[in-house]
Amino acid sequence: MSVLKSMPYHHAVRRVSGWCAWYTSGIDAQVAGRRRDEIASDLYEHGVWADDAGESPRATAREILGRAIRGVPADLGWRHAQRRQLALADPFGFRMRQANGVVATLVILLAAVVTGFGLYVLTRVASSVVAGEIRAGSATALTLIALTALALGGIALLASPRTRFGGALVMIAPGIGLVHLGLYQLYSLSATVGTLMFGMPGWSLASRGLIAGITVCFVAAAIWWWPEKRVHASRTPALPQPIGDSA
């Protein structure tokens, strides 16, 4: 079988391409695209050479992955040099991109926590239904299912820079509803939550403050990623190409 058409070769190419896509992220688009094209060309030439040499697909895949692993330090060094050049050429834009990355990480983490809480509550509800402790299909449980599904969709939108604005807006409803209804549902299922609700001073104020804080975070993220901001950024002139760039 031809190496270029074999599964081991294509699996190795996907892994190397994924790594290349990661370490070229946050770099000037033209420079990153040229780097990815060079890697793709090199992988293709390696496959052609392996076919001509009669090498097995598995051996070729091992060589490609081995080369990629040995090249990690050089790849990271290239990324550091490119980011440093970006910082020197456009310090304000570089700081804004760094801040955007921090905001994205924190918002996605918060969305994951909210979604995880919803899934936990639904798991408790399902186990209680199976045990016959509560009836199935209650309005609260159905609402929790809908909000958890909405939160999963919000996380999917947050994963892409192009749709993060929508993801932050979508997460507002689960951020309010999952915490409020989730605690209300756990009150009837968890002795610990019931004890806290009755025995902890300021429980109501604390839960409302938590919901308000989550809501403010998602609203602020939506404002941060307001579409007009992205349009303005896309009109920024391209940076000059680095001198002496090499593969």
Task: Give the span between the Cα atoms of 242 and 245, in whole angstroms.
Answer: 6
Which position has the higher pLDDT, 190 or 87? 190
Task: Give the span between the Cα atoms of 70 and 72, in whole angstroms.
Answer: 6
Instruction: Kindly report the CATH class assigned to 93-233.
Output: mainly alpha
Domain spans in the chain, listed from the N-terminal domain onward: 3-89, 93-233
Comparing CA positions, the residue from 237, 241, 107 lying closest to residue 166 is 107
pLDDT digit string (tens) for 89-104? 666 666 767 777 788 8
| Residue for token pair 């990153």 | 32
Task: Give the span between the Cα atoms of 20 and 68, in whole angstroms.
Answer: 9
Query: How does residue 244 score in pLDDT terms, banded at 50, 70 and 90?
Result: very low
The structure's pTM equals 0.59
Which position has the higher pLDDT, 201 or 30? 30
Comparing CA positions, the residue from 88, 12, 68, 100 lying closest to residue 240 is 88
Mean pLDDT over residues 109-114, rounded?
A: 95
Task: Give the span between the Cα atoms of 161 and 106, in whole angstroms.
Answer: 14
Comparing CA positions, the residue from 54, 63, 68, 86 lying closest to residue 22 is 68
The encoded tokens of residue 18 equal: 């994924």
**Residue 158 contacts residue 168 (beta carbons within 8 Å):** yes
Which position has the higher pLDDT, 143 or 234? 143
**Residue 90 contacts residue 239 (beta carbons within 8 Å):** yes
pLDDT digit string (tens) for 180-211? 888 888 877 776 666 666 666 777 788 889 99
Query: In the predicted model, is pLDDT for residue 6 greater than 50?
Result: yes
**For the chain, what is the radius of gyration of the CA atoms?**
25
Q: Residue 145 is which amino acid?
A: I
